[in-house]
Amino acid sequence: MAGLRLAPIEVRDLTVAYDRHPAVHHVTCRFEPGSLTAVVGPNGAGKSTLIKSIVGLLRPAEGRVSVGDLKRRDIAYLPQQADIDRSFPITVADTVALGHWARVGIFRAIGRPLRDKVAEALSAVGLEGFEQRPIGSLSSGQFQRVLFARLLLQDAGVILLDEPFNAIDARTTQDLLDLIGRWHGEKRTVIAVLHDMDQVRQHFPDTLLLARELVANGPTPDCLTAANLLAARRMSERWQDDAAVCAPEKRRA
């Protein structure tokens, strides 16, 4: 945790499109260092697209994301489980150690100090003794715990989580929420895509409500009002798969 690099994440007038159809449309927002923010919105609202843009996996069609002097290794990213191939023959220990290699940039055999760190991280997520299990043999909840252990080793100042509790039981969710609370206490910036509004209200001080465009952003109680949620739903009902391509010149007219 020593030497955590911190900087605000600034998203300015961001439009990200797939095949010229905007999934995120002229969004401007800012995540302060040490903030804990939930990103919410209807299906297809552009939440994953926004997260991937912050990580640098998607290129903006317009606007920009600025992460100050943060390097790629300072930003840890947990994709949706559906995006991860678990058939790869790799052990739990190696998967967790990848978090360390992501930070130091060297891939080599696990030495004693790293083995201890891996064991410590697995213990922190309730998976003592799972080191040599192939990841393909784990339940979804156990695998999600492994991915959180990997984030522990990555030790990044910014942590982005895309639907971390999807299909995860209540007990595991609570344990992982505790870990997120710990990261927040350590002043890391945490941004999580979530669908459970009660969970957001209970655990996330800030919220960004997205419906391709920004609907609301700020303290969770101010954001998650009935009016804002209704606006987001109405905006999502208007979407069509053949929606027009983004035409900024028309918008400015």
Ligand X SMILES: Nc1ncnc2c1ncn2[C@@H]1O[C@H](COP(=O)(O)OP(=O)(O)OP(=O)(O)O)[C@@H](O)[C@H]1O
Both tokens of 221, joined, read 């109680």
Q: Does 37 bind ligand X (CB under 6 A)?
A: no
CB 92, min distance to ligand X, A: 27
Nearer to ligand X, 90 or 231 (CB): 231
Q: Judged by CB under 6 A, which of 31, 36, 46, 208 binds ligand X?
A: 46
Q: Does 49 bind ligand X (CB under 6 A)?
A: yes
Q: Does 48 bind ligand X (CB under 6 A)?
A: yes
**Could you tell me the CA-to-CA distances from 70 to 5, 6, 33, 182 in Å, in that order?**
7, 7, 11, 21
CB 13, min distance to ligand X, A: 18
Q: Judged by CB under 6 A, which of 9, 11, 14, 23 binds ligand X?
A: 23
Q: Which stretch binds ligand X (CB under 6 A): 39-47, 63-71, 113-121, 179-187?
A: 39-47
Q: Does 18 bind ligand X (CB under 6 A)?
A: yes
CB 166, min distance to ligand X, A: 9
Q: Does 15 bind ligand X (CB under 6 A)?
A: no
Q: Which stretch binds ligand X (CB under 6 A): 46-54, 85-93, 127-135, 218-226?
A: 46-54
Q: Does 78 bind ligand X (CB under 6 A)?
A: no
CB 47, min distance to ligand X, A: 3
Q: Does 47 bind ligand X (CB under 6 A)?
A: yes
Nearer to ligand X, 8 or 44 (CB): 44
Residues found near ligand X in the complex (CB under 6 A)? 18, 23, 41, 43-49
